[in-house]
């Protein structure tokens, strides 16, 4: 939905203060033993042999090309419980649960079946633990663009995800924000945040909702929202999905990374500055930029310094869901009172 001031006021309800804080972090910090308050540490790269295993530390096989940051720490403001249960690794604090599941790349011979299996496992487990509302999902899919037409791995992933989620007839009104990025190797990983209370799905006035894409993009449209709005008592938060150079439903500025970056950020700004959100004064807390070609980083660097203007930014090398797209941006926005806590 497109958000209005009335929607925002009605969404606030009786939400508590935010049960976590998230920040980008450097490699050295991410490889230290995790404090008991950490819900999730996401590290981009491979796991060194000297780091003690911890289900809360997730390694994602993407390379960082921006040296300031190489991952994220989500720290709880409440006591944390964590563990492993079959396919599922989880950490929870009574308000939110971080959970993930993965399968070997060999299982992607049936990509739709693998996606359906992981999504069903995650959704069932979170519901059993009373975290029945998914806020944010990251999908890391090896060889995301392998195959042609409807045989492409990403398109088959969308089929499997849809099969899992559409068991609920109202699923399109409850979709989480999401990112799907291709890796060169490793496991197929789905990582998510679920909550005991529903956020508010937010759509983008410049883009067709992903779940309404026409048949040309695959047998099933991608099942995600452009953002999720979380009205925590100490400041509303926006979890913004991976956003590329798409206007309406069409890819734009083909072959031009600079223009695609400009359009991607224009799309993010259109979402954040729509009626009902703009006057609230949301500020960016962090950005993640995914680049298909790491060599684009050098030519884009002046734009990155101008656009992001000191906001924490991590830049990662990964394939985008459409072959013609060269990059994608995701973000977290907060109201100022949250940031001042």
Structural domain boundaries enclosing 150: 5-339
Q: What local confidence, expressed as pLDDT, does residue 7 receive?
A: 52
Distance between CA 79 and CA 334 in Å, rounded?
23
Alpha helices, DSSP H, located in the chain: 5-12, 27-30, 111-128, 153-165, 257-272, 296-308, 336-339
- From first CA to last CA, the distance across the chain in angstroms is 30
Closest CA to 123 of 225, 192, 198: 192
DSSP symbol at 52: P
Task: Give the pLDDT confidence score for residue 336 in this predicted structure.
Answer: 77
Q: How many residues does the chain have?
A: 341
List the alpha helices (DSSP H) in 136-256.
153-165
State the residue for tokens 């309406």. 248
Residue 265: count of CB within 10 angstroms of its CB? 19
Number of helices (H), then strands (E), in the chain: 7, 19
For residue 37, give the nearest of 99, 100, 93 by alpha carbon.
Answer: 93
Among 10, 12, 6, 3, which residue's Cα sits nearest to residue 233? Answer: 12
In whole angstroms, give the CA distance from residue 181 to residue 177: 14
DSSP result, 208-238: --GGG--GGG-SS----BSEEEE--TT--EE
Pairing of strands 133-142, 177-183: parallel
Look up the pTM and report it.
Answer: 0.94
User: β-strand 188-195 against 133-142: which pairing, if any?
Assistant: antiparallel
Tell me if residue 107 falls in helix, strand or coil: helix
Supply the pLDDT for residue 163: 98
Q: pLDDT tens per residue, the chain (341 residues)?
A: 444 444 545 554 589 999 999 999 988 888 889 999 999 999 998 877 777 889 999 999 999 997 778 899 999 999 999 999 999 999 999 999 999 999 999 999 999 999 999 999 999 999 999 999 999 999 999 999 999 999 999 999 999 999 999 999 999 999 999 999 999 888 999 999 999 999 999 999 999 999 999 999 999 999 999 999 999 999 999 999 999 999 999 999 999 999 999 999 999 999 999 987 877 789 999 999 999 999 999 999 999 999 998 899 999 999 999 999 999 999 999 987 665 44
Q: What distances in angstroms separate CA 83 from CA 37, 55, 128, one per listed residue?
A: 14, 7, 15
Cβ-contact 200, 261 below 8 angstroms: no
Three-state SS at 246? strand
**What's the CATH number where 42 sits?**
3.30.1330.40
Number of domains in the chain: 1
- Using the Cα atoms of residue 160, residue 162, residue 165 and residue 166 in order, give the sign of their dihedral: negative
Question: Cα–Cα distance between 283 and 332 in angstroms, integer?
Answer: 9
Residues in Cβ contact with 39 at an 8 Å cutoff, skipping those fewer than 6 apart? 20, 56, 74, 75, 76, 80, 82, 91, 92, 93, 96, 98
Angle at 113 between CA 110 and CA 118, to 5 degrees: 125
Query: CA 138, CA 225: separation in Å to the nearest integer?
Result: 12
Distance (Å, whole) CA 156 – CA 178: 17
Could you tell me the sign of the dihedral formed by the alpha carbons of 229, 235, 240, 246, in that order? positive
The CA distances from residue 109 to 105, 189, 223, in Å, are: 8, 15, 21
Q: What is the pLDDT of residue 5?
A: 43
Q: What is the pLDDT of residue 309?
A: 87
Nearest to 201 by CA among 191, 192, 209, 193: 209
């Amino acid at each position: 939905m497109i958000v209005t001031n009335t929607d925002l006021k009605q969404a606030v309800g009786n939400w508590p203060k935010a049960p976590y804080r998230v920040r980008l972090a450097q490699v050295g910090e991410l490889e230290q033993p995790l404090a008991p308050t950490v819900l999730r540490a996401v590290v981009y790269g491979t796991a060194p042999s000297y780091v003690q295993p911890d289900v809360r530390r997730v390694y994602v096989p993407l390379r960082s090309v921006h040296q300031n940051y190489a991952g994220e720490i989500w720290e709880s403001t409440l006591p944390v419980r964590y563990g492993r249960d079959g396919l599922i690794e989880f950490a929870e604090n009574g308000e939110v649960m971080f959970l993930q599941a993965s399968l070997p790349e060999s299982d992607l011979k049936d990509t739709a079946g693998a996606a359906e299996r992981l999504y069903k496992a995650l959704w069932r487990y979170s519901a059993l633990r009373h975290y029945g509302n998914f806020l944010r999902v990251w999908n890391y899919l090896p060889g995301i663009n392998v195959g042609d037409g409807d045989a492409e791995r990403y398109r088959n992933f969308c089929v499997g995800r849809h099969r899992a989620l559409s068991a609920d007839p109202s699923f399109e009104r409850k979709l989480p924000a999401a990112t799907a990025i291709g890796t060169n190797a490793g496991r197929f990983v789905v990582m998510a945040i679920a909550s005991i209370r529903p956020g508010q799905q937010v759509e983008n006035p410049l883009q067709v909702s992903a779940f309404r894409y026409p048949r040309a993009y695959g047998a099933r449209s991608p099942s995600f929202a452009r953002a999720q709005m979380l009205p925590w008592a100490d400041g509303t938060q926006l979890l913004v999905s991976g956003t590329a150079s798409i206007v309406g439903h069409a890819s734009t500025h083909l072959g031009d990374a600079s223009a695609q970056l400009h359009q991607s950020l224009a799309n993010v700004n259109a979402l954040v500055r729509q009626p009902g959100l703009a006057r609230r004064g949301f500020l960016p807390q962090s950005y993640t930029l995914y680049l298909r070609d790491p060599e684009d980083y050098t030519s884009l660097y002046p734009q990155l310094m101008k656009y992001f203007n000191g906001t924490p930014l991590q830049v990662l090398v990964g394939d985008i869901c459409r072959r013609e797209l060269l990059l994608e941006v995701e973000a977290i926005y907060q109201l100022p009172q949250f940031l001042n806590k």
